[in-house]
Structure 1
Amino acid sequence: MSKKLLSKNKTVRKLSRNEKQRITIANLALIPFVIKDYIDALIKAYNPTFTYELKAEFFYYIIATIIKRQNTYENKALKNIPVALNATILRGIKSNYNEYIDWLIEQEVIFKAENYVPGLSSNKYCFADFVLPSLKLDSTSEIVEMKALESSKVIVARSIQESEVYEENKHLLKWFNDDLEIDFERAVTYMEDLSYYEGEIFDLTHKKVHWNHQILALHHKAFYATRNEESDFRLHTALTNLKKIFKPFITYKGQELIGYDLKNSQPFFLIFLIDSIINNNSRIDNIIDRIYTKRIYNSFMLQKLREVLSTEGFQKEYEIFKTWVLNGEIYENMESIMNPKKRLGSYFTNKYIASKKVTEKKKIDNVRALMKGVIFTLFFSSLKTRNSDYKSFKKVFPNLVTVIEIFKRVANADFSKLLQNIESDCIIDFVSKKIANEYPEMPLFSIHDSLSTTEKYAPILEDLMSEYIFEYTGLMPKIEEERWRKYDYQVDYKKKVELHPEWY
């Protein structure tokens, strides 16, 4: 079925000016077979009556969008969390979109979360308890076409080449073609046999629903790309959402992929941000303008920042922190000042569970992971956090934390968005474009702060990535190699050897 659909992707035409003003959605969508079968049966039996002509594809689109939005970095646990749907897109497809959502709720396919606050938050939806057991028993998905949803306001892109962001990111997106493959059968076998993940043994059934969706998207070549200037401005693709445990099964033209990650990327770009403000570097001006209004930044934030940055206390702290980051030893050095205590052979940290609205203790075996969590809390927590690690770090680096908190004064998420925008501008718009211009024949894939290519071009990528990050930031980065085929995906070693002896 997928080959027949894919043949339509080979002819790519340019969009007209009119079409560029329309919202774009992807033509191919994955929907769990059990849900599609259930919806089809209900439509056939009861033929729901809506204001306008019924289109079953809209039901499929809503379901596929919920799964896709649950398959995000924010939902690392891959739980059945409530997610928002884009009302502008839904309304563009069907003005009576609420009738479709209400019908799915009535049929107990999805339900609406109760924490909606008019004017402050969006309606959020997740799968109802009625369908969850069926999903867990059969996580297979079917690929369906969305062409029937095209309207005067929505264009359905037949391929990734027709996505809204393709032309600006062509140097990366052109490699999403038939040569990018996943060894689907082996990936499925591995997933079905997996019972141990991230240091714990527990029920993985709902995770496997999401994992199956991720590998099916690659298997069926249901490629997509999004990049939102109003949020993190990162390039999101079928690879950025792919769980690392499936990297060993990915090849391009049958060749292994090798990636290069910018070590300690968020602290690294914090250093670049602070240096840019101190040295009046205009490179960040446009990025800051995306996040903050000129009035707020120039009249309030910049004045406060310069006051803190000019103090002797900040300069002493910054010299230490900057050395740690640029030496690639930030987590090791943080351990010495945080002095974490082991209990029963493990470390523990407090983690806020938004869905339960409670703080729970989480076991962490690796002290590096624990210190990474402290930085994550430092960058992403609210100003009102009661996290003990945050307070401990602030005691040692009070002026540095004050600088970070200035960036959070208007909205807590602004600081993380700012760092992600800087990262994206550096890696996507500067580094990868320069490499692609110099070596247009080099396959190049981005996953946020990392770039990957095939074995043949790996040494070139490693050298140029360091060179161009330095050219952009004036800072010498630490780059780590990641061989996708040899990725340590946290399964018992004996089990890995039994499953894939050829890798060892």
Structure 2
Amino acid sequence: MSEYFIAVPKFLNLEQRLSKFPPNFKFSKDFCYYYIAEIIRESMKKHTSQNTKIESVINQFIPRSSVIMQSISRQSKRHIDYLYEDFFGEGRLLHRKNYGPGECYSYRLPEYFWGDGELEIIKISEHTLVKNIKKKKKPTIHNTVKKRFNFVCGYFSPKAFEIDDQEALKDLYTEYKVSGNYKQYLSNVLKVVDFKNSHFPFYHRPNTDGRLHTAITSFPKICRKYLKYGNEPLAEVDLSASIPFFLSYILNLTIKESQPYNILHNQIYNKNILSLYMLVKSSVSLSSKEVEDFKALVLNDTIYDNFMDKFLNAPNFEFYFESKFGNVFDGDVSDLRKYSKSRFLSMLFAKNNQFQWEQETLYEQFPTIHEFIKVFKQLKLKNTKSTDRHKRLSYLLFQLESHFMLNIVAREINNKFKRKIPLFSLHDCIITKKSDIDIISEQVHDIFIREIGYAPNLKMKVWE
């Protein structure tokens, strides 16, 4: 059966227009819904303002190519003209901006039809229309994924996945009413729609973060509990403090291996970053005690706790905490730990002239590690803009994470269980069915012990 799902405002009442002013040609209601849904989708993409309120997001004219629309439906022009027609007592269902040189007509849905902004998912099922849409909307699969991680793609089976999209959209709308961020709401709704359409793209950028980006990694966190695979909830094995863990790994290699290049050249995709690491290694003398102490904090899962009191007493703590969480600090230790984690990671990945208090705190306890990080982010290297130098530390750590979680852990589990256990990656997590989570956790632990001699803290969580 041909079907395709789209999102439109709940307040949109196309049926009323059709009953009052029936079209005098062979009319496709499905095409009209699709056309409106595409304007809504492009509104989210085109919106670049810092203002994320609904009025800012929806009041944009979206260019629409007549050639593309003709390839979807031969009668597209007549349908669009019908939606634009200013019927007495009904008005226009679309506003139009006339084209200029080199420009298409642009359209937007009048603010009235957005109502309070709540969206719903509807199904269109005209066979030829759905066939033409799917032909135009094939998901992107990067060549590097096909070459290196093609084994991951096979687990994204449309028949195996189930999603309760109605409950997911309810939660997203409730979240929007609290945050007021309509752009984020619209973006998340469209991710749910894409998942329901089995639109599964795969992105991998080896020269930057090296992470695999999929429909799972982009899926709204608040909606994960509504996903099932083979009639089961999904569950995750998460590397606790993964970024500090891989930082401790690279620091440990630096002090213990005479030739770390021989190990790292197979683990880091971007060879410029590897060359940078070798330069930093030769210019900074790390303290073995510092590295061991830092590693111990990571393996005990107390690295963020270690800095909590210092960050609590930082200048403007109250302002930054409220900016982060939207409420004042009430003494909740778990909130303070989240804040400490946020500031620590932000410091690692920011420019050296930012997060000065956090840098001083790190320097007090780990001066040579602080120097290693600082030099890594400021050292000049060919083909790197001065404004982008600080990003290289994040690239290094994310690429190590990707190597171990995808190329080693996920690949080995895939080969061992021969696709009998579903497997998905979410950066520092491995995702599987609830019934398989204990097996996967054991595998992840054992593989890290074998590969580097110790394992990160692993936390299991069921998506329900």
Q: TM-score range by the shorter chain?
A: 0.5 to 0.7
Answer yes or no: is the 8 Å Cα contact 1:157–1:163 preserved in 2. no
Answer yes or no: is the 8 Å Cα contact 2:9–2:113 preserved in 1. no
Normalised by the size of structure 1, how large is the TM-score?
0.63
Structure 2 residue corresponding to 1:174, chosen from 143, 148, 154: 154
Deviations 1:331-371 (A, max 9, x none): 222224x161499xx96353899xxxxx9998566111111
**Using the alignment, how far apart are the partners of 1:412 and 1:62 within structure 2?**
38
Give percent identity, aligned residues only.
20
Residue 145 of structure 2: aligned partner = 165
SS at match of 2:368: helix
Structure 1 residue corresponding to 2:282, chosen from 295, 303, 307: 303
Identify if the C-alpha distance between structure 1 residues 470 and 69 changes in structure 2 by more than 3 Å, giving closer, same or farther.
farther
Unaligned runs of 5+ in 1: 7-28, 38-56, 83-92, 94-98, 110-128, 151-155, 354-358, 486-504
User: Is residue 2:189 matched to residue 1:219?
Assistant: no
Name the Cα RMSD after superposition: 4.6
Residue 362 of structure 2: aligned partner = 393
* Matched letter for residue 302 of structure 2: E
Identify if the C-alpha distance between structure 1 residues 149 and 480 changes in structure 2 by more than 3 Å, giving closer, same or farther.
closer
Deviations 1:393-449 (A, max 9, x none): 333322211111122124111110110011001001110110111112101111110
| C-alpha displacement of 1:247 | 1.1
Structure 2 residue corresponding to 1:237, chosen from 214, 227, 246: 214
Residue 317 of structure 1: aligned partner = 290
The aligned runs of 1:471-486 (5 Å cut-off) are 471-485=450-464
**Using the alignment, how far apart are the partners of 1:372 and 1:401 within structure 2?**
17
| C-alpha displacement of 1:465 | 0.9
| C-alpha displacement of 1:206 | 3.2
**Using the alignment, how far apart are the partners of 1:401 and 1:446 within structure 2?**
31
**Using the alignment, how far apart are the partners of 1:473 and 1:274 within structure 2?**
13
Residue 411 of structure 2: aligned partner = 433
* Matched letter for residue 263 of structure 2: R
Structure 2 residue corresponding to 1:413, chosen from 391, 401, 406: 391
SS at match of 1:469: helix
The aligned runs of 1:340-489 (5 Å cut-off) are 340-341=312-313, 348=318, 350=320, 363=328, 366-409=335-378, 410=380, 411-440=389-418, 441-485=420-464
**Using the alignment, how far apart are the partners of 1:406 and 1:483 within structure 2?**
40
Which deviates more, 218-227 or 130-139?
Answer: 130-139
Answer yes or no: is the 8 Å Cα contact 1:377–1:390 preserved in 2. no
Answer yes or no: is the 8 Å Cα contact 1:272–1:475 preserved in 2. no
* Matched letter for residue 426 of structure 2: I
Which deviates more, 171-180 or 256-265?
Answer: 171-180
**How many pairs align?**
379
Identify if the C-alpha distance between structure 1 residues 250 and 383 changes in structure 2 by more than 3 Å, giving closer, same or farther.
same
| C-alpha displacement of 1:246 | 0.6
**Using the alignment, how far apart are the partners of 2:412 and 2:339 within structure 1?**
36
Deviations 1:96-148 (A, max 9, x none): xxx999847x9487xxxxxxxxxxxxxxxxxxx99799496254578997979
Normalised by the size of structure 2, how large is the TM-score?
0.68
SS at match of 2:208: coil
Bigger share in strand: 1
| C-alpha displacement of 1:322 | 1.2
**Using the alignment, how far apart are the partners of 1:132 and 1:414 within structure 2?**
47
Which deviates more, 419-428 or 363-372?
Answer: 363-372
Answer yes or no: is the 8 Å Cα contact 1:258–1:482 preserved in 2. yes
| C-alpha displacement of 1:453 | 1.0
SS at match of 1:301: helix
**Using the alignment, how far apart are the partners of 2:300 and 2:216 within structure 1?**
29
* Matched letter for residue 406 of structure 2: I
SS at match of 1:482: strand
Structure 2 residue corresponding to 1:283, chosen from 239, 263, 268: 263
Answer yes or no: is the 8 Å Cα contact 2:237–2:460 preserved in 1. yes
Identify if the C-alpha distance between structure 1 residues 62 and 415 changes in structure 2 by more than 3 Å, giving closer, same or farther.
farther
| C-alpha displacement of 1:227 | 0.8
Residue 383 of structure 2: aligned partner = none
**Using the alignment, how far apart are the partners of 1:174 and 1:69 within structure 2?**
32
Structure 1 residue corresponding to 2:168, chosen from 184, 187, 197: 187
Unaligned runs of 5+ in 2: 14-33, 58-67, 69-98, 381-388
SS at match of 1:165: helix
Identify if the C-alpha distance between structure 1 residues 145 and 292 changes in structure 2 by more than 3 Å, giving closer, same or farther.
farther
Deviations 1:209-244 (A, max 9, x none): 122112111112111111111221111111101121
